[in-house]
DNA sequence: ATTGAAAAAGATGGCCA
DNA sequence: TGGCCATCTTTTTCAAT
């Protein structure tokens, strides 16, 4: 089954912090051989705990300075697939969260400027049977760098302090 | 200045898809030498376009099956720093988006079950001068794998179809 | 499941066009 | 900048425990 032990959790934390870490570095940190670490990481991917590795990008530096969340309301009971289909029409949509209750979905949007954002929202409104939108402009974002994927059996009331980000060599 | 050309954008797209790609593989795809690709990626990090690399994790498989967004409303005009400080108290908070208007913030939460989520929300309510919360339970998530960090000068009206995920060797 | 070692692949840094 | 080359590090596989 999906058995993930403490060492696996340590590896997950290390890879969350820096996905391009070498197996050798991780091996040293968790006290295993390089081969063992590779096997574990391969297994974490195989069982679907690790779904991928991605680069984090500062979109503002690329000219996409506007970030927003838009709540979508649909007429009647739109199925999830329908919601995702309609919200996918705009390439500026980064992510879609279908939700229970009101609203029906929350979409994350990246745009170059307010005019562009307005166009995206218009597109969403026309894309399906969207009955209403409400948009939240994001001013500032804070993301937890040290995510704590501790086992659910251990209640983990507090966060562990995390060593500073590894400086680039 | 922050000059990012088409090849840089191609590299960003490749690293978004798989942050653990080798320089050799990227070099082949963009038609440059390995050293040139490394130089470009190093530079993209130096100028802050790439802010890091991270592993994508299926938290449900780790026993954290509940995902939610909670809107937070604060009394008066709470400064951003205050909002982030209060929302950070709970380790289950994954991200905080401070927003303009109403609500004042949107926080992304991961919890083991509904009871746990309830505890987190209670913690948030008590953490600062939070006057109200509204929670959206996430049922399904769709994330754009192929983000299009195209230059803002090129309007890019449509999405390009994206080849299937590279199979593991 | 882990280790250790050997072969293959990749990463780095210097130098010149 | 980019390419090339020499060197060093890392990955990957395999036999053995």
Q: How far is CA B43 from CA A126, A165, B12, B40, B148, in A?
A: 41, 19, 12, 5, 20
Residues in chain B closer than 8 A to A138 (CB atoms): 97-99
pLDDT in tens, B110-156: 999 999 999 999 999 998 889 999 999 999 999 987 665 555 444 43
- Measured between its terminal Cα atoms, the distance across chain A in Å is 39
Of B53, B144, B156, the CB nearest to A18: B53
Which tokens in the block code for residue A34? 């390089």
Q: Looking at per-residue confidence, does A12 or A129 come out higher? A: A12
Q: Is the predicted pLDDT of residue A164 greater than 50, yes or no?
A: no
Which tokens in the block code for residue A131? 């009955």
B54 and A57: CB-CB below 8 Å? no
Query: Which bases of strand C sit closer than 7 A to a protein CB?
Result: 1-5, 9-14
B149 and A62: CB-CB below 8 Å? yes
pLDDT band at A1 (very low <50, low <70, confident <90, very high): low
* Overall residue count recorded for chain A in this entry: 169
How close is the nearest chain B Cα to the Cα of A17, in Å? 6
Please compute the mean of the pLDDT values over residues A87-100 and round it to a whole number: 93
pLDDT for res A77: 76
Q: Is the predicted pLDDT of residue A64 greater than 80, yes or no?
A: yes
A52 touches chain B (CB under 8 A): yes
Surface of B (95-134) touching A: CB under 8 A: 95-101, 103, 106, 112
Q: How far is CA B70 from the centre of its chain?
A: 17
**Which residues contact residue B107 at a Cβ distance below 8 angstroms, ignoring those fewer than 6 apart?**
B69, B70, B72, B87, B93, B94, B95, B96, B97, B124
Strand D proximal to A24 Cβ, under 7 A:
yes
Q: Is A22 helix (H, G, I), strand (E, B) or coil?
A: coil
On whether the B6-46 domain is CATH 1.10.10.10, my answer is: yes
Q: How many CB atoms lie within 10 A of CB A7?
A: 15
For B59-137, CATH gives 3.30.70.920
In chain B, DSSP finds a helix count (H) and a strand count (E) of 5, 5
Q: How far is CA B47 from CA A127, B41, B56, B117, in A?
A: 37, 10, 24, 39
How close is the nearest chain A Cα to the Cα of B160, in Å? 9
Please compute the mean of the pLDDT values over residues A55-75 and round it to a whole number: 95
How far is A29 from B63, CA to CA, in rounded Å? 25
Q: How many CB atoms lie within 10 A of CB A142?
A: 20
Q: Looking at per-residue confidence, does B159 or A133 come out higher? A: A133
Kindly identify which residue of chain A lies nearest to residue B100, measuring between CA atoms: A137
Domain limits of chain B? 6-46, 59-137
- Helix intervals (H) in B90-132: 114-127
How close is the nearest chain A Cα to the Cα of B30, in Å? 17
A153 touches chain B (CB under 8 A): yes
In chain A, DSSP finds a helix count (H) and a strand count (E) of 5, 5
Please compute the mean of the pLDDT values over residues A75-89 and round it to a whole number: 86
B81 touches chain A (CB under 8 A): no
Q: Which residue has the tokens 């005009």?
A: B77
């Amino acid at each position: 089954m999906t058995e993930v032990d403490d060492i696996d959790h340590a590896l997950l934390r290390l890879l969350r912090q820096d996905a391009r870490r070498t197996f050798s570095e991780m091996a040293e940190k968790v006290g295993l051989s390089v081969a063992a670490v590779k096997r574990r990481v391969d297994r974490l991917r195989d069982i679907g705990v690790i779904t991928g590795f991605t680069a984090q990008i500062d979109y503002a530096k690329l000219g996409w300075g506007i970030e927003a969340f838009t709540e979508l309301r649909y007429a009647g009971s739109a199925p999830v697939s329908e919601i995702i289909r309609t919200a996918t029409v705009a390439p500026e949509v980064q992510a879609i969260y279908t939700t229970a209750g009101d609203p029906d979905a929350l979409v994350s949007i990246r745009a170059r400027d307010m005019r562009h954002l307005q166009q995206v929202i218009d597109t969403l409104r026309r894309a399906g049977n969207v009955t209403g939108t409400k948009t939240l402009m994001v001013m500032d974002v804070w993301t937890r760098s040290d995510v704590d994927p501790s086992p659910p059996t251990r209640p983990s009331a507090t966060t562990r302090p995390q060593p500073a980000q590894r400086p680039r060599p």
